[in-house]
Chains A and B, each alone.
Chain A
Amino acid sequence: MRIDANNWHTWEAFGERDYHLGRFDKDENEVSVDQIDRQRVRAVVVRHLADGRTLFVQHIDPEKGERLIAFARVYIKYGGGQLRVVVVGWQRTVGGRNVKVLNYILPDGTVHSSSSDELAVIDVIGLRAVNQPDA
C-alpha cells in the first residue's frame, strides 16, 4: 500500500461491550468512519499508517451529550499537490446551541484544535501542499 500525503493514517474506534471497529476489516476492505456506532463509541485512536504510532486519541463522553465528529478534509491543487487532514472531535447541544471541538491532524502529527469547521490556517497548509511520498 502506497503511503503518501493522501493516505497516511489509520484509525480504530473503541467502545462499550468490547465494541471495536477499524479502518480496515479482516479482508482488508476499507471501512467508512460513517460506520462507527455513535451510540457505543467511547474513543477514536488515530495512528500513523507507516509505523502505527498513535497520533491522537479522541474520547467521547455520551453522558455529557458528546457526539463524535470524524471525517477527512482533502486538498487537491493544480500541479499534483494533495493533502489529507484527518479531523476528529465532538459536538454537543448546550442551551439550544451546538458546541463543538474539531481536531485537525496533519501527517507530521501536528494537531490544530478549534471550534471552527472552516479553519483558514488548515486551508493555507492545504494550498501549499505538495506531493510528498512517505509523508
Chain B
Amino acid sequence: MAATVQIFSFHEATPSGADVTDGTIRFKQADDDTQDANAPIPIPAAGYEYSYLKQLQLKASTSPTGTIDNIKFFGDGSLDWAGCAIYAEVRASYIDPTTQVDTAHPSWVDNWENYVTGAPLSVAGSIDNPDTGYFGELVVQQLRVGDAAGVGVQAAEDVTFRYDET
C-alpha cells in the first residue's frame, strides 16, 4: 500500500507528537491543541498579543514503496480573522513553546497568506522505503492578535500539506 502519512503536532519541553490529521489545532495562550475555551488570546487595547507556537510535522506510520519528497505547505491565501495575522516558517529543530509565552517569534512577519496554491512553503526532507516515522522539517506557526480582532472563536481555516510519492 501507499504510505500512510499523518500530521503531528508537538508540545512541551520534551515533545511527544499528537496526531491532528483528523482534527484541528487551536491558537491559544497555552501549550496544547485542546478544543476548549481555556487560555484564549486576549484582544489588546493597543499593540499585539501572541499565541503559543504551533509546530507540525509529517509522520509515515507505514513506509512508502519508494520515496516521499517535495513536501509543501499552503493555505487558501486569505486569513478571515479580522485584526489577526499568522507567521509561518520551517525549522529543522523543535522550540519549547513555553519559552515564548506571548512573545513574537524572533523572525515574525505577516507571511502566512503568502503561502498559497502555486507558491507554497517548501519543507525540506524526505523518507525512503523501508523507513517509517517523522520526516521533513517542522512547520512553525504563530498567531498575532491586534486591537481590531473579533471576539470569540474564529471559523477554521484550511491548510494543506502536499508531497510527492513514488
Check A30–B160 contact: CB distance below 8 A: no
Taking the closest CB of chain B, its distance from the CB of A111, in whole angstroms, is 18
Residues of B within 8 A of A94 (CB): none
Residues of B within 8 A of A79 (CB): 22-24, 156, 158
Interface stretch, picked from B35-43, B60-68, B83-91, is B60-68
B1 within 8 A of A: yes
Q: How large is the interface on A (under 10, 10 to 19, 20 to 34, 35 or more residues)?
A: 20 to 34
Option from B7, B158, B163, B166 in Cβ contact (under 8 Å) with A127: B158
Residues of B contacting A: mostly: loop
Chain A residue at smallest Cβ distance from B4: A6
Check B65–A77 contact: CB distance below 8 A: no
Q: A74-B162, A75-B160 are in contact. Are A124 and B117 (CB under 8 A)?
A: yes
A71 within 8 A of B: yes
Taking the closest CB of chain A, its distance from the CB of B29, in whole angstroms, is 21
Chain B: residues with Cβ within 8 Å of the partner, total of 33
Option from A75, A118, A127 in Cβ contact (under 8 Å) with B76: A127
Bound-state CA distance A124–B160 (Å) is 10
Taking the closest CB of chain B, its distance from the CB of A47, in whole angstroms, is 15
Option from B1, B22, B75, B163 in Cβ contact (under 8 Å) with A80: B22
Residues of B within 8 A of A72 (CB): 2, 164-166
B129 within 8 A of A: yes
Which residue numbers of A lie inside 8 Å of B, CB to CB? 1, 6-7, 30-35, 70-81, 84, 87, 118-121, 123-124, 126-129
The 6 tightest CB contacts between A and B, nearest first, are A120-B118, A32-B66, A123-B117, A32-B65, A77-B160, A80-B22
9 sample A-B contacts, Cβ–Cβ < 8 Å, listed by A number: A35-B66, A73-B165, A74-B5, A75-B161, A76-B160, A78-B24, A119-B118, A123-B118, A128-B158
